[in-house]
Amino acid sequence: MNVILASASPRRKQILENAGFDVTVRVSDADETLPDGISPEKAVEHLAKIKANAIERKTDETVIAADTVVALDGKILGKPRDEKDAFGILSALSGKKHRVYTGVCIIYNEKEIVFSDCTEVQFYKLDENEIYDYIATGEPMDKAGAYGIQGRGCMFVKEIKGDFYNVMGLPVGKIGQKIKKML
């Protein structure tokens, strides 16, 4: 089926295409400012809803938007500002369990659904040299939590509990279930 992806993330496009969707990317410059003191779930749902509603859509188009954050001890970690920030984030995640939240908004004609999914990720203990080497690859810089589980960051992950694709940025199994009920 055809879907309009309201996200510029090449990873989200790839996930949907792997799953068999035909994907058209259509992005807006929606205001992604978060209200203060919002929980990770509410934050990602709020931003997904804003992104999905910010693009123009035609009748019978299915629009999917998403937002992903990493939370450690309830505190939201976004994308790193610079390499020093990436080092701080990865040091904080080392040896610990964190949570990845992706909020999704799907719009089809008059119907709109918003939900989020959470995956727990347990990191191995990282040493400083591993973190420096990883930052030198450039991989952390555009990613929430400063790592990519689909890239070299896979070496840091001991185990996950939940949907892997939710960590990459889109809980594709849950999206399939929701779309089945919606259409």
Is residue 60 annotated as part of the catalytic site, yes or no? no
Return the sign of the alpha-carbon dihedral for residues 164, 166, 169, 170: positive
Contact 90, 147 (CB under 8 A): yes
Residue 176 lies near its own copies (rule: CB under 8 A) = yes
Residue 141 lies near its own copies (rule: CB under 8 A) = no
> Considering only residues 137, 138, 142, 183, which one is a binding residue for its own copies as defined by CB under 8 A?
137
Site size for its own copies (CB under 8 A): 28
Whichever of 108 and 156 has its CB closer to its own copies, that residue is: 156
Whichever of 31 and 136 has its CB closer to its own copies, that residue is: 136
> Considering only residues 75, 81, 84, 158, which one is a binding residue for its own copies as defined by CB under 8 A?
158
> Considering only residues 27, 30, 115, 162, which one is a binding residue for its own copies as defined by CB under 8 A?
162
114-to-41, 44, 47, 154, 180 alpha-carbon distances in Å:
11, 10, 10, 29, 15
The 3-state DSSP class for residue 109 equals: coil
Residue with tokens 């509410």: 42
Residue of 29, 31, 60, 67 with catalytic role: 67
Please identify, among the stretches 49-57, 64-72, 107-115, 157-165, the one whose residues bind its own copies according to the rule CB under 8 A. 157-165
Number of neighbours of residue 130 by Cβ within 10 angstroms: 15
Single-letter amino acid code for the residue at 1: M
